[in-house]
Amino acid sequence: MPRMTHAQYPGESLPVSALYVDQHYNEFNTRLFTCYSCGVKVQFSRGKGHMDPHFKNWPNQPHDANCEIPNLCDNVSSTSGRGDIELLVSTILPRAMLNHEKHGKPDYNKNIQAKHFTSPRSRKFIYTIYDLLDHDNRYNLRPDYENIPIKVEDGSTVILKEIFGTQDQAIERINTYGPGPFILRASTFKPYFPSGHCVFLLTKSGKYGNSSDFRLFIHKNYLDKNIECIDSISNALFICYAYIEKSKYGYQAELFSIKHQLVILRKFTKN
């Protein structure tokens, strides 16, 4: 079984994020976590250098035969490696960056949002998506993988094709469901730097689901960590795993780490 992003904890109605446990370590008895599907005991780990919080199996305690994660993997017709599918179905996406729920009130935390998208898991997630694309069909998802179910932190489930698409599809999802995680496929212009932030406007033509204004946004607090990658994503077709929303400046996807969130599909000749 792959590492898991979430686990069940006594007294909590929804699975708890490993990122939340890492930041509130003393609030939990780490011997009480269980698989959110089959209930087998799992252990919490902060990962190498405390940089990759996750849950994993206890030694000699495999998941039950009825656990939905391996069963979902078996139900996906796969020409890719089983590990790719396991990583996707064992990932729980943040819903509007809901990190944890206590007393019925969601706890929103920008630091946890940033840590989610700069984790090794985020990088593995977007590169797994890259491996599932049809490079001969405009980098769409290959049909065998469109309906892979992925859990969301609020207890719901989405299928992969519902959270993958162009900027027009991202806008439609924001307008229908509100802000949340999305896998965006789009192309950039050169960046500009208003008030010290970095902004990439996305290209528009209307032919490929890109008729509306949309932008990539990097807050100035994260610019130094991304500066060496800025040129590489200028004038490029890409996919990125990011939080999409409508801000006061318009529709956008926020990047915290280009290396962890974005994969370049094609570079264009500069004009």
Pair (106, 182) in one structural domain: no
Residues 44-78 pLDDT 10s: 998 877 778 889 988 888 888 888 766 666 655 44
Q: Please tell me the predicted confidence (pLDDT) of residue 84.
A: 61
Which amino acid would we find at residue 145? Y
Helices (H) and strands (E) in the chain, counts: 8, 18
Q: Which of these three, 162, 177, 209, is where a domain ends?
A: 162
Report the distance separating Cα 3 and Cα 195, nearest Å.
40
Residue listed under structure tokens 């729980």: 92
Same domain? 47 vs 149: yes
**Hey, is 259 helix, strand or coil?**
helix
| Segments of the chain scoring below 70 in pLDDT | 1-2, 69-85, 95-109, 270-271
- Tell me how many domains the chain contains: 2
Burial of 81 (C-beta count, 10 Å sphere; 0-12/13-18/19+): exposed
> Where residue 201 sits, what CATH number does that domain have?
2.40.50.140
125 shares its domain with 233: no
Q: Which pLDDT belongs to residue 74?
A: 62
Q: What is the pTM of this model?
A: 0.79
Task: Please give the pLDDT value at position 1.
Answer: 57
Whether 26 and 124 share a structural domain: yes
Distances in Å between the alpha carbon of 2 and those of 51, 90, 174, 223?
Answer: 17, 7, 30, 32
> 128, 143, 162: which is the final residue of a domain?
162
- Specify whether 6 is located in the same domain as 129: yes
pLDDT score at 19: 86
Do residue 72 and residue 132 come from a single domain? yes
Query: Containing domain of residue 202, as a range?
Result: 166-271
pLDDT at 99: 36
Same domain, residue pair 173 and 215: yes
- Residues 4, 101, single domain; the answer is yes
